[in-house]
């Protein structure tokens, strides 16, 4: 069962990477991932996930405010100590678990491309600020596949 959950998470992560447009590198670094990922819940659930390749030490971060406007559920904050550093050096942040439904995640059900601007506004321990900005788009086909993967993951996890 965990094997299927892990596969669904990897596929969801890859879809988020595919939806992130390149060419948005700043002096602070760049986004390598901005998108939804399946999450465990009583109903079909997701959480927003951001991955960053930074040009400075992650330990310099005091706080990060994430958003992907105008997508609801993509806005949250993390303390620097809450950020996870993967083996490849990517800094990962995951948002709260959200129920997937037409009411709570309407953008996933829209039959058109959803365009947004993702931001990570960081406050560093020395008081300076750094930001990452990247446009993303999720086509109707990507969103449909994402919903199918979330439903499958939920079904497998419920056993």
Judged by average pLDDT, the poorest of 15-19, 74-78, 99-103, 124-128 is: 15-19
pLDDT at 26: 56
- 13 or 112, higher pLDDT: 112
**Domain containing residue 112:** 2-158
Tell me the mean pLDDT in the region 112-129.
96
pLDDT at 27: 86
Q: Is residue 15 predicted with pLDDT exceeding 70?
A: no
Res. 159 pLDDT band, cuts 50 70 90:
confident
Q: Is residue 58 predicted with pLDDT exceeding 80?
A: yes
Among residues 1, 91, 5, 97, the alpha carbon closest in space to that of 51 is found at: 91
Mean pLDDT value across the chain: 86
Hey, which bits of the chain come out as E strands?
Answer: 29-39, 45-54, 61-69, 76-79, 84-85, 91-94, 98-99, 114-124, 129-138
**CATH code, domain with 110:** 2.60.40
Number of domains in the chain: 1
What is the rounded CA–CA span in Å between residue 50 and residue 123? 17
Residue 90 tokens, joined: 């990517």
- 131 or 17, higher pLDDT: 131
pLDDT at 5: 40
């Amino acid at each position: 069962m965990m094997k299927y959950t892990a596969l669904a998470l990897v596929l969801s992560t890859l879809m988020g990477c595919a939806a992130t447009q390149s060419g948005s590198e700043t002096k602070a670094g760049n986004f390598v991932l901005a998108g939804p990922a399946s999450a465990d819940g009583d109903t079909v659930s997701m959480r927003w996930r951001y991955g960053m390749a930074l040009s400075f030490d992650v330990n310099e971060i005091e706080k990060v405010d994430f958003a992907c406007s105008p997508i609801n559920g993509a806005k949250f904050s993390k303390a620097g100590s809450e950020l996870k550093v993967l083996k490849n050096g990517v800094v990962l942040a995951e948002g709260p678990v959200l129920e997937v439904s037409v009411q709570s995640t309407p953008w996933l059900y829209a039959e058109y491309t959803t365009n947004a601007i993702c931001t990570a506004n960081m406050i560093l321990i020395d008081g300076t600020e750094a930001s990452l900005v990247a446009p993303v788009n999720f086509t109707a086909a990507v969103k449909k596949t994402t919903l199918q993967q979330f439903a499958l993951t939920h079904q497998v996890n419920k056993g």
